[in-house]
Amino acid sequence: MKLPWQKSSSTDADDTTQSGPTGAGAVDGHGASPSDSRDASLPKGYTPPKGRPTPKRREVEREKGIIREPADTPQTFRQMRERKKALKASMTREEYKAYKKRERDERAARRHEAQKHIDAGDERYLQDRDKGAERRFARDWVDSRRFFNSLFMPVALVLLVVMFTSQYYPVVANVLTLIAMAVILMFFIEGVLIGRRVNRATHERFPGSTAPGFSLGFYAYSRSTQPRKLRTPKPRVNVGDDI
């Protein structure tokens, strides 16, 4: 019996040569199969041509919008400007225009998506001042009521017009100024009442909460001064609803 580390004898080699081809595993007289002789001149890892040049990976990723900026984000304005110049120099004018348009569209889509979640009250997208069950309750409390403070913006616009016209119509301007001061006083009094009422309602709804206070009252007051259609997040309740 031949052990694995022993070489084959000359007799075994002669027998192998004389046995001749036996099917698919046959070799030629030089000890190589036909496929080996055909591919012997090709380099290792050779692939047949596809009939077109292979695009660079960076070009493909740039075309798909995967690459918008390098991994090492510049930290200064000068680095950003140099990076922008290098990117612009690597593209044609049409490619750069298409790149900028795609970048603007992506930013607009992200803003639109984020604003949609903000309007819906998704706390993942809200600012810190709008987060929390107490702030959500305060928004619903304000949105379910009508307030004189909702006219704050139109009155502020009227006051601005009065300031510009006072030098031409001093008598009328004096009367309008008195009226404006009375309106501002009414705004102030109602703002104080809104803050106290929303704090009391929040204490009743959340007995152990530490959120009620001046900040919550001012938050409710500032929301009441905004027109209903311009409030963010959007109102979830209608006027008169019981919350």
Q: What percent of the chain has pLDDT above 70? A: 76
Whether 51 maps to a domain, the answer reads: no
Same domain (yes/no): 137, 84: no
- 149 and 98 in a common domain: no
Tokens of 22: 């036996």
Say if residues 88 and 98 touch (Cβ distance below 8 Å).
Answer: no
**pLDDT above 70 for 147:** yes
The structure tokens listed for 85 are 């110049």
What residue has token string 């929303």? 198
Judge if 139 and 224 occupy the same domain. Answer: yes
Cβ–Cβ under 8 Å, residues 228 and 150: yes
Whether residue 194 lies inside any domain: the answer is yes
Question: Does some domain include residue 161?
Answer: yes
Q: In the chain, how many domains are there?
A: 2
The answer to whether residues 114 and 136 belong to one domain is no
Domain co-membership, 134 together with 114: no
What pTM value is reported for the model?
0.60
Note whether residue 239 is domain-resident. Answer: no
135 and 114 assigned to the same domain: no
Boundaries of domain holding 153: 129-230
Residues 159 and 83 in one domain: no
Separation CA 196–CA 130 (nearest Å)? 19
Q: Which of 68, 90, 120 is the last residue of a domain?
A: 120
Q: Which has the higher per-residue pLDDT, 231 or 21?
A: 231
Looking at residue 70, its pLDDT comes to 53
Give the domain-ending residue among 120, 149, 168.
120
Instruction: Tell me the percentage of the chain whose pLDDT exceeds 90.
Output: 33
Structural domain includes residue 9: no
> Is residue 174, in this structure, part of any structural domain at all?
yes
* 28-37, 59-68, 101-110, 151-160: range with highest mean pLDDT: 101-110
In the listed set 67, 94, 120, which residue is the last one of a domain according to the structure?
Answer: 120
pLDDT at residue 5, as a whole number:
60
Q: Does residue 33 form part of some domain?
A: no
The span from the CA of 220 to the CA of 148, in Å, is 14
Residues 189 and 140 in one domain: yes
Q: Are residues 105 and 77 in the same domain?
A: yes
